[in-house]
Amino acid sequence: WPRSGGIRGGAAMDLFGDLRRMNKRQLYYQVLNFAMIVSSALMIWKGLIVITGSESPIVVVLSGSMEPAFHRGDLLFLTNFHDDPIRAGEIVVFKVEGRDIPIVHRVIKVHEKGNGNIKFLTKGDNNEVDDRGLYKEGQNWLEKKDVVGRARGFLPYVGMVTIIMNDYPKFKYALLAVMGAYVLLKRES
């Protein structure tokens, strides 16, 4: 019987054995293949940014503040066209100075000035009070510059993988290592 940890050690030895058996040309080919996958993903992301007008066209709902409309782990698709006016009832994703993570909440009040300047107030559907406590100190209203995007569609619970990877960083690194090893060691038929 293998000693404890023997399975992990055996898998690592198989991985290094596979790498040693590859000639340099095969290894370069696999590394190039991996680089093409990464660069394709980045090009798709940048393309989505241009098409949607949003700096972050896809976000994951991280809290239950918008339930029952959106649940933790839902994947939201955003657009952010500047000529499209913000209206009460719309769900927006916004960033507040001093907070790294964008917030997904509903617009509950809009104030439009004659010069076209718009200010608005947000609130989570599942929250008791509006978001003035979340805004930076002294700020009572959001402006269009604070908006990252507006929700246009969603996929339920697809973002749970992201939440799990953020909550358990070791899982994230293990998953990335397995995916990288798979791409590098995959043999062409």
Q: Which of 54, 65, 74, 146 is catalytic?
A: 65
- Check if 65 is active-site: yes
**Strand-strand pairing, 147-155 and 58-60:** unpaired
pLDDT in tens, 117-132: 889 999 999 999 999 9
Q: What tokens were used for 154?
A: 């969603």
pLDDT in tens, 13-64: 565 666 566 677 777 887 888 899 899 999 999 999 999 999 999 999 999 9
- Check if 105 is active-site: yes
Q: Which of 54, 74, 131, 146 is catalytic?
A: 131
- Check if 131 is active-site: yes
Q: CA angle 83-88-89, nearest 5°? A: 110
Q: Comparing 15 with 78, which gets the higher pLDDT?
A: 78
DSSP 72-120: TTPEEEEE--TTSPP-TT-EEEE--TT-SS-EEEEEEEEEE-TTS-EEE
